[in-house]
Amino acid sequence: MIIIMKSSATEDQIDHVVRRVQELGFTPHVSRGVERTIIGVVGDERSLARSSFEVLDGVERVVRVLHPFKMASREWKQEDTVIHINGVTIGGGGLTIIAGPCSVESRSQLLETAHAVKEAGAHMLRGGAYKPRTSPYSFQGLGLKGLEILAEAKETYGLPVVTEVMSPDLVTLVAEYADMLQIGARNMQNFALLHAVGKVQRPVLLKRGMMSTIQELLMSAEYILSNGNMQVAVCERGIRTFETYTRNTTDINAIPALKQLTHLPVIGDPSHGTGKWDLVRPVARAMVAAGADGLIVEVHPRPEEALSDGAQSLRPENFARLVEEVKAVWEALRNVEAVPVTTP
Ligand code: PEP
Ligand code: MN
């Protein structure tokens, strides 16, 4: 439920509504816009009547949010959320490119990749230090050593870093090194982890589970938002279908659907979405054309030697082409007026 205050509402009237929300056992979330203040009611408000608030002084109207995700919904917040990370922005109309290896394998591998992706125009660096691998016998990541290498690359090339955190007890440590915390597809519904990243003030890149619906993705985002962390971007990284030619099936529908349903930035991952390096560039172009706010792309200087996801990793020169291509798509479409279609 959202309580929209009149533009003439006084501070006392706003405070009174906030106290009433608390008295009824809910958590108020106050957003102060230029025009008016909006108070979100956080909690299971199914039993709550709109009239509980409509009668209060200073209230203009009370709106029920129809979706089960509340704070993540466009009804809750109409304008796009923009995440600011050390001079880089995600959301709000730009195109943010995150690139780097699947895993941090060594200092020289990461520094070489960071240099190459920076030259090609990437805005942020990715690289896994803790890796969620299907097999316990596969490379599991360098752990703390990997975080230290990421910090060095960030320092050297000025690229903010995103890296995966797999368990709640590692959130504080990973947040010391990373500018953005990645929640991987396999952990999208690890609720203890979602709680933990909700409690830190670090932006989160939340990847869609490979067997999760768009609604489930947004419910997971809701966990993070409702725990107090508003800086969340959601990521379409392909889902599992009957198709086996590709590793996953990029759900291109999810990109415009998410843009309608949520104010959170939407990132596309054409690497995991396809699993094949030679499909990454065309699918990246499609994701940008569909309205993605950014991309996360796996790049390796020698994919044949990669310890994880070599088959879907681009060589630096192919990544440079990808950047040129997606920028061209973005430029071509930014001037096309997005006229809202209200009838079929
Ligand atoms: C990754 O980004 O390398 C990764 C493991 O992604 P996902 O969680 O989407 O499989
Ligand atoms: Mn990977």
Please report how the helices 214-226 and 254-261 are oriented relative to each other, as an axis angle in degrees rounded to 10: 40
Ligand 1: nearest atom to the Cα of 184: 8
Task: Assign 201 a pLDDT band (cuts: 50, 70, 90).
Answer: very high
Question: Which tens digits make up the pLDDT trace of 153-181?
Answer: 999 999 999 999 999 999 999 999 999 99
Asked if residue 36 has pLDDT above 90, the reply is: no
For residue 314, the CA-to-ligand 2 centroid distance in Å is 12
Domain ranges of the chain: 2-63, 83-335
> Domain 2-63, what fold?
Alpha-Beta Plaits (3.30.70)
What does the pLDDT read at residue 228? Answer: 93
Ligand 1: nearest atom to the Cα of 132: 5
Average pLDDT over residues 14-24: 96
The CA distance from 73 to 185, in Å, is 21
Question: Which tens digits make up the pLDDT trace of 229-281?
Answer: 999 999 999 999 999 999 999 999 999 999 999 999 999 999 999 999 999 99
Q: What residue ranges line ligand 1, CB within 6 angstroms?
A: 102, 128, 132, 184-186, 207, 237, 272
Question: Which tens digits make up the pLDDT trace of 86-96?
Answer: 999 999 999 99
Average pLDDT over residues 27-36: 88
For residue 226, the CA-to-ligand 2 centroid distance in Å is 29
Percent of the chain beyond pLDDT 70?
A: 98
Ligand 1: nearest atom to the Cα of 237: 9
Contact predicate 251/266, CB 8 Å: no
> Measuring CA to CA, how many Å separate 142 from each of 60, 149, 214?
55, 9, 32
Task: Assign 340 a pLDDT band (cuts: 50, 70, 90).
Answer: low
What does the pLDDT read at residue 335? Answer: 75
Cβ count near 54 (within 10 Å): 12
Average pLDDT over residues 35-64: 91
What does the pLDDT read at residue 32? Answer: 87
Mutation test residue for ligand 1: of 139, 166, 180, 272, the one with most atoms within 8 Å of CB: 272
Contact predicate 256/291, CB 8 Å: yes
Average pLDDT over residues 108-130: 98
Query: What architecture is the 83-335 domain classified under in CATH?
Result: Alpha-Beta Barrel (3.20)
Mean pLDDT score of the chain: 95
